[in-house]
């Protein structure tokens, strides 16, 4: 008679089963822990290499002054223009990508027929598969001359160029995730709304969009993260001039971002010179990490609040 | 006894020669094309030898030699004191080999009327004192300053030969990651000024003469062109004369090697 056919188990069998169950559980826990641990380790190592910079230099000078001459003697590390550059490029790309992405998602999920959606969605998602260096090349060879020749801009490698390309790169994420959220809102909800006499537009704006809001918000957040962290494109398209545009909303001037600075300066500022230039890049990395972290936290909080409110409805 | 030692040495020598069929180079994007052309030629002549050439910038090349991840580091500038010290402390003994000469022409958009600048004018443009082409006899047009990234040997050379120790490149200057990207930006931007290795300048951009001297092979070789420099390969220790490394670097002094260097647009070293 096999064990599984019996109802009563011997104490020894119970023990073995418990051991296996415990093993299985701890294995799964360990696997999950690896991901969490990786993040912690990264934070630890970045922070460790960032700390020496703050010991040598003033945090206020780093954040609020404007002279970025890391390889000059003596070196100056005023990164204000770089922080502002990151902010400008990210905000602009978000302002472009989020509305367009959400509208495209609405169109895909509620406007076009099933067949067209099946065709369009993979095409949009294919955008995400294009390597960022290809986008950068496009920015340099197509976008920059276009901006100069057609719009008469002085230099085509500027904040607008980088933002537009970043926006296009963030689109597939935003479209795809919001479309899933809109789909998840369900047919019942829509039909219920129609049954109450609501028009299609009313249903979309007052019922479906609010119901899918938390998903759409996550989508936007993922898009923002993509834009903040993207390196290659901004390195190639933004011009990398360490200046705050005048006036600050002038998108047609070149700017420099945190990611591009890290990528561009890393090779020169390596451990063998043991310099502040090396550590300042880690300080920038840490700033980026903190920013993403805060974004994530805020996102989590808003999504949770949204869900609570929806449940209350 | 003596013979045994010699035999062992010979055996070891053979072993090291026959064992090394792979060579990896890393470093400057300026020296890269020379190294690649040499590698192509060498591998065609010696089937079975595999030579890989990466182009990650002079700074990264020195780093790779320090960490032992490449056999030859290509640099478009000399090693810095700190780099040399870091290498010595790690037991790496960098030996310098000059493989070619280069000049850094200042390039502008083909439509630009300006033909010549003085070295001082170039410095004033890059430090932001001169902001309009009108000030140097050109059209009424704002100057768009383009520079290589601070990680490149080309930048280091430019800074050293043009700006000097004190001057700083002004904040409005744009930075790009390669010689090709500089040419691309200059050939499409009307007000642009940039600099690149002699080998990267073609008819799509206009090269200016500096202090009245054009950047050519000859003016680079006799160093009369104000912004000219040597191009280096660095090895860890002096390579044995029959080693793959020595043969590879030795190419630069052969007839064929000089031909290759000139073909790419650099200036060959004097033949042996």
Distance CA(A45)–CA(A123), nearest Å, equals 39
For B161-196, write each residue's pLDDT tens digit. Answer: 898 878 888 888 999 888 888 998 999 889 999 998
User: How buried is residue A21: exposed, middle or buried, by Cβ count under 10 Å (0-12/13-18/19+)?
Assistant: exposed
pLDDT the model gives residue A54: 85
B199-212 average pLDDT score:
89
Indicate yes or no: pTM above 0.80: no
Closest-approach residue (CA) in chain A for B90: A272
pLDDT value of position B118: 94
pLDDT class of A2 with cuts at 50, 70, 90: low
Residues of chain B whose C-beta is under 8 A from some C-beta in A? 56-57, 59-60, 62-63, 66, 80, 82-83, 86-87, 142, 144, 149-151, 165, 168, 171-177, 181, 184-185, 188-192
d(CA B177, CA B244): 31
Whether ipTM exceeds 0.85: no
Q: Which residue has the tokens 């052969």?
A: B254
Structure tokens at A36: 């969490």
pLDDT of residue B70: 92
pLDDT in tens, B66-111: 999 999 999 988 898 989 999 999 899 999 999 998 888 999 999 9
pLDDT digits (tens, 9 = 90+) for B6-32: 555 555 444 444 457 889 999 888 888
Q: How far is B21 from chain A (nearest CA, A)?
A: 28
DSSP secondary-structure letter at B195? E
Is B174 within 8 Å of A70 when comparing Cβ atoms?
A: no
* Pure H helices in chain A: 11-56, 59-64, 80-106, 114-127, 132-138, 144-151, 159-184, 187-195, 200-202, 209-211, 213-229, 232-237, 258-265, 276-312
Closest-CA residue to B95 (of B258, B239, B206, B203): B239
Is the separation of the CB atoms in A200 and A126 below 8 Å? no
How many contacts does A have with B, using Cβ atoms within 8 A? 89
Distances (CA, A) of B206 to A106, B111, B121, B199: 51, 8, 17, 13
SS3 B70: coil
Q: Which chain B residue has the Cα nearest residue A243?
A: B171
Q: How far apart are CA B266 and CA B272, in angstroms?
A: 18
CA distance B38 to chain A (A): 25
Query: How does pLDDT run across A65-80, given as a tens digit for each residue?
Result: 888 887 777 778 888 9
Q: Are A103 and A182 in contact (CB under 8 A)?
A: no
Phi, psi of B145 (to 5 degrees): -85, 125
Distance from first CA to last CA of chain B, Å, rounded?
39
Spell out which chain A residues touch chain B, with contact meaning CB-CB distance below 8 angstroms: 66, 68-73, 81, 140-141, 144-145, 148-149, 154-157, 235-236, 239-243, 253-254, 256, 264-268, 270, 272-274
Q: Is B174 helix (H, G, I), strand (E, B) or coil?
A: strand
Query: Contacts of residue A240 in chain B, CB cutoff 8 Å?
Result: 149, 174-176
Within 8 A by CB and 6+ apart from B231, the residues are B28, B30, B31, B34, B74, B75, B76, B98, B99, B100, B101, B102, B266
Cβ–Cβ gap A272/B173 under 8 Å: no
Residue A312: the pLDDT is 61
Do residues B26 and B70 lie in contact, with contact meaning Cβ atoms separated by under 8 Å? yes
């Amino acid at each position: 008679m096999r064990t599984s056919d019996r109802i009563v188990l011997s104490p020894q069998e119970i023990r073995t089963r418990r051991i296996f169950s415990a093993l299985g559980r701890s294995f799964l826990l360990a696997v999950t822990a690896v991901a969490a641990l990786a993040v912690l380790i990264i934070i630890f190592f970045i922070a460790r290499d960032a700390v020496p910079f703050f010991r040598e230099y003033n945090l206020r000078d780093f954040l609020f002054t404007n002279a970025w001459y890391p390889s000059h003697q003596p070196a100056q590390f005023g990164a204000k223009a770089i922080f502002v550059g990151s902010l400008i490029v990210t905000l602009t790309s978000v302002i472009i990508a989020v509305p367009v992405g959400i509208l495209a998602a609405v169109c895909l999920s509620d406007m076009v027929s099933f067949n067209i959606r099946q065709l369009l969605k993979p095409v949009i998602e294919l955008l995400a598969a294009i390597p960022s260096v290809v986008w950068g090349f496009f920015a340099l060879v197509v976008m920059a001359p276009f901006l100069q020749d057609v719009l008469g801009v002085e230099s085509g490698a500027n904040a607008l160029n980088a933002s537009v390309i970043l926006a296009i790169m963030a689109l597939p994420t935003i479209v795809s995730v919001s479309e899933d959220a809109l789909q998840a809102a369900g047919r019942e909800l829509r039909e219920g709304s129609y049954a109450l006499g609501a028009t299609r537009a009313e249903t979309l704006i007052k019922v479906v969009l609010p119901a899918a809001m938390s998903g759409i918000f996550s989508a936007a957040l993922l898009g923002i993260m993509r834009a903040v962290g993207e390196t290659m494109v901004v390195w190639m398209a933004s011009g990398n001039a360490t200046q705050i545009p005048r006036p600050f909303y002038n998108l047609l001037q070149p700017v420099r971002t945190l990611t591009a600075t890290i990528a561009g300066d890393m090779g020169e500022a390596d451990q063998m010179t043991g310099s502040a230039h090396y550590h300042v890049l880690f300080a920038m990395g840490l700033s980026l990490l903190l920013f993403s972290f805060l974004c994530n936290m805020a996102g989590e909080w808003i999504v949770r609040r949204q869900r609570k409110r929806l449940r209350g409805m | 006894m003596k013979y045994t030692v010699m035999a062992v040495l010979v055996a070891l020598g053979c072993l090291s020669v026959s064992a090394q069929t792979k060579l990896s180079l890393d470093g400057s994007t300026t020296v890269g094309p020379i190294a690649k052309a040499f590698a192509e030629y060498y591998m065609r002549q010696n089937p079975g030898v595999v030579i890989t050439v990466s182009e990650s910038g002079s700074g990264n090349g020195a780093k790779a030699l320090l960490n032992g991840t490449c056999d030859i580091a290509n640099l478009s500038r000399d090693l810095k004191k700190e780099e040399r010290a870091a290498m010595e402390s790690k037991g790496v003994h960098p030996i310098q080999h000059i493989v070619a000469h280069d000049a850094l022409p200042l390039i502008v958009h083909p439509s630009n009327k300006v033909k010549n600048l003085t070295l001082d004018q170039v410095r004033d443009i890059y430090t932001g004192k001169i902001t309009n082409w009108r000030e140097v006899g050109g059209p009424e047009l704002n100057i768009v300053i383009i520079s290589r990234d601070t990680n490149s040997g080309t930048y280091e050379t430019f800074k050293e030969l043009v700006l000097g120790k004190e001057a700083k490149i002004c904040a409005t200057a744009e930075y790009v990651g390669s010689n090709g990207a500089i040419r691309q930006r200059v050939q499409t931007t009307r007000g642009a000024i940039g600099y690149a290795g002699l080998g990267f300048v073609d008819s799509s951009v206009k090269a200016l003469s500096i202090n009245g001297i054009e950047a050519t092979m000859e003016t680079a070789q006799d160093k009369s062109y104000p912004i000219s420099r040597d191009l280096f390969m660095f090895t860890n220790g002096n390579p044995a004369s029959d080693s793959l490394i020595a043969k590879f670097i030795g190419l630069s002094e052969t007839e064929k090697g000089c031909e290759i260097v000139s073909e790419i647009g650099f200036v060959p070293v004097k033949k042996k």
